[in-house]
Amino acid sequence: MKSTLIALFLASFSLTAFAGLPAPGALPKNGNCPANYVVKNNECDPTKSARFAVVKSGDCPADYEVDGNYCIASAGAKLAIRRAAMTCPKGFTPIGDYCISENQ
């Protein structure tokens, strides 16, 4: 019973830790796919246990871990998108090569 409660707590914690990020989506294949992503055509498709990721451009944003040519969100990470223009969309702050959400 105690181990079941611990497992449920950890599962709910991991879901809430990444609750502010969108569900992981397909990424363009750039070298090896990141952990918990599988190759499908020219993309890396997320599995059930995949975390949100972006293609790496320069240093990864705060609370993101490097995994080859990708940045993988860790607990507490805010939404990051690669900056494609000089300015970021409303609600995002430019930091390095990324636009970081101002909301958690």
Asked whether 73 and 25 are in contact (CB, 8 A), the reply is no
The boundaries of the domain holding residue 53 are 2-101
* Number of structural domains the chain divides into: 1
* This prediction's pTM: 0.78
Residue 69 pLDDT greater than 80, yes or no: yes
Tokens of 50: 């995949």
Residue 89 pLDDT greater than 60, yes or no: yes
Instruction: List pLDDT tens digits, range 2-57.
Output: 333 223 233 333 333 445 899 999 999 999 999 999 999 999 999 999 999 999 99
The predicted model gives 63-72 an average pLDDT of 97
Query: Tell me, what's the pLDDT at 20?
Result: 81
Query: Tell me, what's the pLDDT at 103?
Result: 83
Who contacts 29 (Cβ-Cβ below 8 Å, separation ≥6)? 39, 42, 43, 44
pLDDT band at 90; cut points 50, 70, 90: very high
The predicted model gives 70-97 an average pLDDT of 93
C-alpha count within 13 angstroms, C-beta hemisphere, residue 3: 0
